[in-house]
């Protein structure tokens, strides 16, 4: 091979490697950008909830002092709205404590205890708000409190969802999921009560959603959270949540239209990895994609994202079925083993009892026989001794 050909071949190889490196760098940049968006949209901080970072966690032996302090402060707070604000603060603090325990890989029992503590606090918050007599818009103090309350309730659900997805075992995640359900139901109850009291709850929640920290894709996550709330809302409250959902979805459509192409490419990675119900995200894409006109590249990206989500849902379902089938088989096998062991124990116990009973019966029979003999012998001797003798001289 001539020197010229070698130079040309080397140049082609270098060029190909260069193009490959650029493409790889772009793909990596897209993936990293998606990771940053996910981090921004799913991570809830103490600052977001308006509380300080905890210095004492529930697994500390000194935590009871912290609880005493909370109880004393609440006891000497007499205004109903102030009590509700305090209860909301404590719920936020306990959620961050739970988050820190999960991040620190605390024991399952410590996390479960922290979940129970948090769940008690949100139930107490529900009670405290219900005790506020004047829930109307005329109570400016309550209205001011609700401005932060709605936002923080949504953030609480976001934080719980992230903990369930990333940081704990299945056993613990089920406990946290129950707490999340309680939090959503309580929030729905409070929203319904405030709506009946003529509070402008719709505007308050929309303002809260608007002011949530996060990226341009945040509304995907927000719509999934609103879906959870809407599932527990009925009547006029359910209609209001649906109205809010429609508004947020329209905002998302406008946001997506204005995204640069390079930003649109992050949607697939984002929806694949953001915590939440993939089925809800898929429904959002179905609703959004057909409405967007004049953006073929965006529509293509959304359709691809929808297809990837659908495949992910199918794969997760198959994995769940396979896991469930395997667990069922293990349970059946365990049940059979337990039944066999119980049967063997029953047979062994019955055999032992039968042997003991037979031995006891034999002993009883022997004892009765001995008693009968003893009773019979003395009676015979006495009867023989009592036979009259003939009179002396009778033959005379």
Distance, CA of 165 to chain centre:
9
Q: pLDDT of 97-122, one tens digit each?
A: 999 999 998 999 999 999 999 999 99
Distance (Å, whole) CA 71 – CA 309 = 47
Distance (Å, whole) CA 268 – CA 30 = 10
pLDDT (0 to 100) of residue 156: 92
Tokens of 171: 């056993």
Q: pLDDT of 124-164, one tens digit each?
A: 999 999 898 888 878 888 888 888 899 999 999 989 988 88
Report yes or no: 312 and 272 within 8 Å, Cβ to Cβ.
Answer: yes
Task: Using alpha carbons, list the distances in angstroms from residue 321 to 269, 314, 345.
Answer: 25, 10, 35
> What do you get for the CA distance between the two ends of the chain, in Å?
168
Report yes or no: 249 and 20 within 8 Å, Cβ to Cβ.
Answer: no
Distance (Å, whole) CA 116 – CA 113 = 5
242 vs 31, which has greater pLDDT? 242
pLDDT (0 to 100) of residue 111: 93
Q: How many CB atoms lie within 10 A of CB 372?
A: 10
Report yes or no: 197 and 206 within 8 Å, Cβ to Cβ.
Answer: no
Report yes or no: 208 and 157 within 8 Å, Cβ to Cβ.
Answer: no
Distance (Å, whole) CA 210 – CA 204 = 10
pLDDT (0 to 100) of residue 5: 53
Report yes or no: 112 and 170 within 8 Å, Cβ to Cβ.
Answer: no
Give the total residue count for the chain.
396
Tokens of 31: 């993936």
Angle CA 280–283–286, to nearest 5: 155
> How confident is residue 315, by pLDDT bands cut at 50, 70 and 90?
low
> How confident is residue 384, by pLDDT bands cut at 50, 70 and 90?
very low
234 vs 381, which has greater pLDDT? 234
């Amino acid at each position: 091979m001539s020197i010229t050909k070698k130079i040309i071949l080397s140049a082609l190889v270098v060029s190909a490697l260069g193009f490959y490196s650029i493409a790889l760098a772009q793909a990596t940049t897209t993936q990293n950008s998606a990771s940053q968006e996910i981090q921004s949209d799913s991570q809830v901080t103490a600052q977001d909830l308006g509380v300080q970072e905890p210095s004492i966690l529930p697994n500390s032996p000194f935590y009871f002092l912290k609880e005493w302090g909370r109880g004393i402060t609440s006891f000497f707070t007499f205004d109903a709205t102030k009590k509700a604000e305090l209860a909301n603060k404590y719920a936020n603090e306990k959620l961050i404590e739970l988050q820190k325990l999960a991040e620190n890989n605390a024991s399952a029992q410590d996390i479960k205890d922290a979940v129970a503590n948090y769940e008690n606090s949100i139930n107490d918050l529900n009670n405290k708000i219900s005790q506020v007599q004047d829930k109307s818009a005329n109570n400016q103090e309550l209205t001011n409190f609700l401005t932060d309350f709605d936002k923080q309730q949504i953030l609480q659900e976001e934080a719980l969802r992230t903990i369930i997805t990333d940081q704990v075992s299945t056993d613990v995640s089920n406990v946290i999921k129950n707490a999340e359900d309680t939090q959503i139901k309580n929030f729905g109850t409070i929203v319904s009560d405030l709506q009946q009291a003529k509070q402008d709850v719709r505007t308050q929640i929309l303002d809260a959603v608007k002011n949530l920290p996060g990226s341009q894709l945040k509304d995907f996550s927000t719509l999934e959270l609103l879906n959870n709330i809407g599932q527990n809302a009925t009547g006029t409250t359910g209609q209001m949540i649906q109205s809010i959902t429609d508004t947020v979805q329209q905002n998302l459509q406008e946001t997506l239209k204005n995204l640069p192409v390079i930003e649109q490419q992050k949607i697939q990675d984002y929806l694949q990895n953001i915590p939440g119900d993939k089925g809800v995200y898929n429904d959002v894409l179905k609703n959004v994609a057909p409405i967007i006109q004049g953006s073929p590249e965006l529509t293509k990206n959304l359709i691809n994202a929808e297809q990837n989500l659908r495949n992910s849902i199918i794969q997760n379902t198959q994995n769940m079925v396979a896991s469930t089938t395997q667990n069922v088989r293990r349970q059946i096998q365990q049940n059979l083993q337990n039944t066999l062991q119980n049967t063997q124990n029953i047979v062994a116990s019955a055999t032992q009892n039968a042997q003991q009973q037979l031995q006891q019966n034999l002993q009883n029979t022997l004892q009765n026989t001995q008693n009968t003999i003893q009773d019979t012998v003395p009676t015979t001797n006495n009867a023989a001794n009592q036979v009259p003798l003939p009179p002396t001289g009778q033959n005379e």
